[in-house]
Amino acid sequence: MSTIDRPEFGTDGLRGRAGEPPMDPETLRRVGAALGVVLQRGGGAQKRVLVGNDGRESAPWILEALGQGLIASDVAIADVGLCTTPALAFLTRTQPFDAGIMISASHNPAHDNGIKIFADDGTKLGSGVEAEIADLALQLRPADPRTPRMRDRQDLLQKYEEHLAERFPTLDLAGRTVCIDAANGGGSLLAPRMLRAFGAEVVEVACEPDGFNINDGTGALHPETLRAAVLEHGAVLGICLDGDGDRGIFVDELGNVRDGDDVLSLFGRELHAAGALPGDVVVATVMSNLGLHKSLREVSVELLVTPVGDRHVFEAMRRRGASIGGEQSGHILFADHDLVGDGLYTGLRLLALDAPQGLAARFAGFRRYPQQLVNVPVARKPDLATVPAIAAKAAEIERALGDDGRLLLRYSGTEPKCRVMIEASDAAVCERLCRELADVVRAELA
């Protein structure tokens, strides 16, 4: 049996190009076996794992490799098939499973894939457990691979749909048109079916996965097509999911694209006005726009800032007892939805607002500062503060921005890239400063 490199879990599980480490059969077989060993330490009856996927062509063989490792550790496997990450997390928590695995690379292109592992309470595994699984994967030598037996449990998705229906008992979308872009991913069947269950006239965009078209010019990173559909059909809302459905970008009835900062501003202000914002706090990451800070400050709401990643938002919300938090990218976590990012649920929350004048007016409290983001490919990732040219240029820009702008410079947690983001009151200044710093980063690290 060949050796493997230690599988390094990032901010959202394992991720990479399908077929290459860590997303190769041998590594995944050992990760499955390692997860099984960790689960078996709890003792008791045979452990059960629920698996779902977002429709990528590589999902079947990835499932088989994981399954080979799991059965080598005497773990039973159930397959829910095409689904969203929030649905998988919900079913792991509410059904008799000891863990859940979502096979997905989220917003990445079709040639990538990944796995997110959930504990039996529907939360992502902690970094300590992930590190233990990575260490065990190096040590274990699963028995000769054999085809794993897996129980087909696509029927479980009805449980999740019933859960959403119960959360919105008075929502009636009869006579209203809603556009849904599922990025040809995990929500392609589920999301349109759910909207129709509430009575909506549904216009489907990118809801026909073929294994290769996921996120291909569609979904949360590309809301342009959805915007055109909203305007063409006179829709009250457009809901734009990413590949695995845990984030949502929205288009209001006027064609304005609304990201996570828009949503956090709207609900932060609405919940505060209703006396339903514990501690008067909203949680967001360092990527959120300066306009969100100012929008919430206007109504005396604190914006608690965390590092990038919905895991950090989750932890801060639980620590502070916050009712809402999220990311600019569209991960929105509601305390009354089990702190799970769910683009469809957020869309239903928007549709459930009493908005006779349309949703555009409800978003009006948020004024976005011009923001420029450049992702610079890098060959290495030294501490940015230790690279003199980069540190000097960053300090120069921060002095120039003062209190009316900000700079964020960090590495991607999942890709070999350095993210350079600048906000300023003037768009031209923002673009120039971002370009200048990106050029320095490129010269030093590419």
Catalytic site residues? 106
d(CA 226, CA 215): 13
CA 34 from centre of chain = 25
Strands (E), 93-229: 99-103, 112-119, 150-152, 177-181, 201-205
Contacts of 271 (CB under 8 A, 6+ apart): 277, 323, 324
Please answer whether residues 378 and 371 qualify as being in contact, where contact means their C-beta atoms are separated by less than 8 angstroms: no
- List alpha helices for 51-99, DSSP H: 59-72, 85-94
d(CA 98, CA 118): 9
Please answer whether residues 164 and 156 qualify as being in contact, where contact means their C-beta atoms are separated by less than 8 angstroms: no
Distances (CA, A) of 406 to 238, 260, 299, 373: 31, 19, 22, 12
Please answer whether residues 240 and 188 qualify as being in contact, where contact means their C-beta atoms are separated by less than 8 angstroms: no
Looking at the chain, how many residues does it have? 446
- Choose among 102, 352, 369: nearest CA to 242: 102
